[in-house]
Structure 1
Amino acid sequence: MLSAASVTAGVVLPASALSGLVGTGPLIVCASVVMGLAICCASAGSPVFRGFGSVLGGVLALVLVPFNGTVPLWEGLVILAVMFLGTAAYRAEHGQSTWRCTAGAAGLVVVCAVGSVYWSGTDTPFARRGWITGFLLAALTFALGLASRGRRVPQVLTALGTISYSVYLVHPVLLAVIDGTIGRRRQDSLVLEVAFVGALLPLCLLTHRCVEAPSQAWGRRLAARLQPPGTGR
């Protein structure tokens, strides 16, 4: 449903639509309050409060990702569709669904994602080709990883997977810094791409070790303290 909606969503709302509607400041305050409430409820001992907190956090994500992302609405919906596609693969892996249904959903997401780029008229043909190429390569990488999940993974790939979330968060910041200093070329340059990756990966390794890993450890300790007595891990 999300991938199908993305095909026509590009002409409905611009990027950061909620910020433009209510203002960035009020939106940050409102989202922070809702997120704090969701975290507190999800950490409570009552199953009712935990369920409410989980739903509230999910609703917040479903609102912010498509309606206030830095990308157009159609791209936000594609992101959500891909995320839920991972859930579909997880359910098929654990016998809660069939691989045939998952493969059909994956095909629909890919077709709608590619169609969304052309339907929305995004940027230049060069930008459209770059987006489609990146998306298809990401889908291929996921498929290869899923097919080889029972085999030994090279250590370099494991390391890249470990810092992948930091890469996801840091790379747009680094691009913004480049845009604000030397500017971004409109055509590919292998030298600049290698330099970008060479700067990005050490930076992401640093943020993983100094920010992400300590935060995860703190979260596990907090969860252990909040765990109801007599409940197994």
Structure 2
Amino acid sequence: MNLSVALSDHHGVREKSSRLDWLDGLRGVAAVAVAVHHATFVYTPHAREALLQWFNPGFWGVMVFFLISGYIIPASLERHGDLSRFWTSRIFRIYPLWAVGVAALVVLAVTGISELRGELRRFDSVTATLSHVTMMQDLLTVPNAVNVLWTLSYEMAFYLLVAGMFAIRWHRRSVGTAASLISAGLLLSLLGPVTFFTGAIGAPAAVAVTTLIMAFAIGSAYLAGPKLRKAALLAGAVLALMLVTLNGRLSPWFGLSILAVMFTGTVLYRAEHGQVHRRTAALTAGSVLVIVIVQGWLHPDETEGGPIAWTISMLSSAVAFGFGMVVLRRRTPKWLSLLGLTSFSVYLLHPLVLKVSDATVGRWREYDNPIPLIVFLLVLLPICWVTYRYVEKPMQQQGRKIIQRAASR
């Protein structure tokens, strides 16, 4: 997606053992699953349609991303023990590749290879730019410049929530947080999409307010005193929760379910480290899983592929993450480690490669042709290794140097 980046930072501060390598590799598999999901729309549409009746690889991939982020991000913050180090790590982890992706998108638009999304052109340039720079565009109902960027909005909302909870020492209340979020989502599940900022004030005002509060919240980690920092971080957390609940492109139940899934990852991390009883963690994870599945049956129109695919994909994501937890301390195959290193690049850049393919190779509508799909992957993966090697890795190292210099003062 995370899509999220997903988007964790354990590349940046990696334990010497291989305990996180399996989750890294799993995230790589999830990134490829999302890429294949989108590529089948172009190359094998009939096979895609048949598969989606039973399994949605894109949904499976982003749920795996969110679980892994939930497992790692709070642990990263607590390991740093300092919000300024946490935000520095996040910024140098996400923004360099994000900037490369945006630059590539602009080049494609300027050269006429691929136009910007039509809905995005309705917004003025300042609104569109700021909404994407904050990475909150999907929660501001501003169309994503690249389709996969929507998961970054939920990643950023999660960061703001975790940072706010850390500021008031609520960061270990993961069980209660996951339970509250999934319960609130269930209560709101009968409501349709609800807008707050964009409906009442207008997108430019919503983006301006969001930008100011986020700058206040993140900047306070570097500059403010303890009391002002706490107030700023709480403001950021409240903003994130309000946008997910009241203003996102996704329905409130869906947005809150995503956050609940992420905090479920945190609950499992705490159980593994003896901070939560394993029985409590299992009950929490099981409850979130069941309620998310039920939500898919209550809202079939909002599930790509339908309730059956939603159920199988959600269950499969839980099984995959559980497998990653079981084998955490075992040696990771080298190919899987390499795939994990490139996961963010695969996730973020594959839509751009598909745009180039659209403009050159074209699409298959009358019949399925798996050969271009295979070629697409063979082209994509080396490109992503290059961007990891020459963009992601150097910038992560630079972020670590800044953190180390700050710690030595």
Alignment TM-score, normalising by the size of structure 2: 0.46
Question: How many equivalent residue pairs?
Answer: 227
Q: Which structure 1 segments of 5+ residues have no match? A: none
CA deviation after TM superposition for structure 1 residue 104, in Å: 0.5
Q: Secondary structure at the match of 1:97?
A: coil
Q: Secondary structure at the match of 2:305?
A: helix
Separation (CA, whole Å) in 2 of partners of 1:216 and 1:119: 42
Q: Secondary structure at the match of 1:126?
A: coil
- Which of residues 375, 399, 402 is equivalent to 1:219? 399
The aligned residue for residue 325 of structure 2 is 146
Separation (CA, whole Å) in 2 of partners of 1:198 and 1:35: 39
CA deviation after TM superposition for structure 1 residue 68, in Å: 3.7
CA deviation after TM superposition for structure 1 residue 151, in Å: 1.0
Is structure 2 residue 287 aligned with structure 1 residue 108? yes
Asked if the contact 2:304/2:310 (under 8 Å) is kept, the reply is: no
The verdict on how the C-alpha distance between 1:203 and 1:38 changes in structure 2, with shifts beyond 3 A counting, is farther
1:16-40 CA distances to partner (integer Å, 9 max, x unpaired)?
7643443322222221211111111
Equivalent AA in structure 1 for residue 203 of structure 2: T
Q: Which structure 2 segments of 5+ residues have no match? A: 1-179
CA deviation after TM superposition for structure 1 residue 224, in Å: 3.7
CA deviation after TM superposition for structure 1 residue 67, in Å: 3.6
Higher relative contact order (CA 8 A, sep 6+): 2
RMSD: 3.8
Asked if the contact 2:296/2:302 (under 8 Å) is kept, the reply is: no
Separation (CA, whole Å) in 2 of partners of 1:118 and 1:184: 32
CA deviation after TM superposition for structure 1 residue 195, in Å: 6.5
User: Percent identity at matched positions?
Assistant: 36
- Which of residues 204, 219, 239 is equivalent to 1:60? 239
The verdict on how the C-alpha distance between 1:112 and 1:190 changes in structure 2, with shifts beyond 3 A counting, is farther
Which structure 2 residues correspond to residues 1-233 of structure 1 after superposition, within 5 A? Answer: 1-14=180-193, 18-44=197-223, 46-123=225-302, 126-170=305-349, 201-202=381-382, 204-209=384-389, 211-227=391-407, 229=409
Asked if the contact 2:193/2:251 (under 8 Å) is kept, the reply is: yes
Asked if the contact 1:16/1:71 (under 8 Å) is kept, the reply is: no
1:56-87 CA distances to partner (integer Å, 9 max, x unpaired)?
43333323344443322222111101111111
More divergent stretch after superposition (75-84 vs 59-68): 59-68
Separation (CA, whole Å) in 2 of partners of 1:14 and 1:148: 40
Asked if the contact 2:193/2:249 (under 8 Å) is kept, the reply is: no
The verdict on how the C-alpha distance between 1:171 and 1:222 changes in structure 2, with shifts beyond 3 A counting, is same
CA deviation after TM superposition for structure 1 residue 212, in Å: 3.9
Alignment TM-score, normalising by the size of structure 1: 0.74
